[in-house]
Amino acid sequence: LIKKSLIQTFKLDSTQRSVALQVPNGPQRIRGLAGTGKTIILSMKAALTHISNENFKILFVFNTQSMYNQITSNIEKYTIEEASKAPDWNNLMVLHAWGGRRREGLYSFLCSQYGLSPKTLYETKHVSDPYQYIFSDFLAKKKDEIVPIFDMVLIDEAQDFPPAFFETIYHITKDPKRIIWAYDEFQSLNELKISEPESLFGLNKKGIPNLNNDSIKGQYDDGIDK
């Protein structure tokens, strides 16, 4: 019974697969309860986008360190199943949001790219939100120098990340800002209310939100739900 249940639970249904196949021409938000397959969908979306757009630079970023192997093995499995070849990891980066001495993460990668010394977890023990602290610091020092390098960014566990993280993602993503973020309903470490794009992705020099709330309402011209 347990085996049968697991097979049913982790089998992609038609709705999940259709979402995974989509390459939106802009930002997209995915909402769902814990255990509804968001990580699977993002992994498959990374693999399928990588196959259909070989020159795309794709970033998959997340918060829980222990998910590294699960995400990379999922992406590898789906790429081999669909294209009969392994992923080109030069164009597909799977990074923890922070990173450390043993393994590079998004924050440590960006610090390396822009000549900064990354802050350690020990250095942030005095603040209530370490992610907000480190990415705010990075933006304060290098915001005007950031060059967009990714064609698509997939964010898992988005409920765990603060605005400075999302604003950084905005600046490192090329137009038309294919940023896909998935979060667990009611699973935020900090609050129940889900933040809208205008409060997540920062403001431009004129004080206008980089992404307005309407950017994830309705559909794109090709029928893909925002």
pLDDT by residue (tens digit) across 179-217? Answer: 999 988 765 555 556 789 999 999 999 999 999 999 999
The 10s digit of each residue's pLDDT in 21-61 is 889 999 999 988 877 789 999 999 999 999 999 999 999 99
Query: Is the torsion defined by CA of 202, 159, 106, 47 positive or negative?
Result: negative
Sheet of 92-96: strands edge to edge?
Answer: 28-32, 179-184, 152-155, 58-62, 92-96
Contact (Cβ atoms closer than 8 angstroms) between residue 56 and residue 45? no
**Angle at which helices 14-21 and 38-52 cross, to 10°:** 40
Cα 21-22-23 angle, rounded to 5 deg: 120
Residues 6 or more apart whose CB falls under 8 angstroms from that of 207 comprise none
Q: What share of the chain is helix, strand, coil (3-state, %, to 5)?
A: 45, 15, 40
Rounded to two decimals, the pTM is 0.90
Task: Please tell me the predicted confidence (pLDDT) of residue 170.
Answer: 98
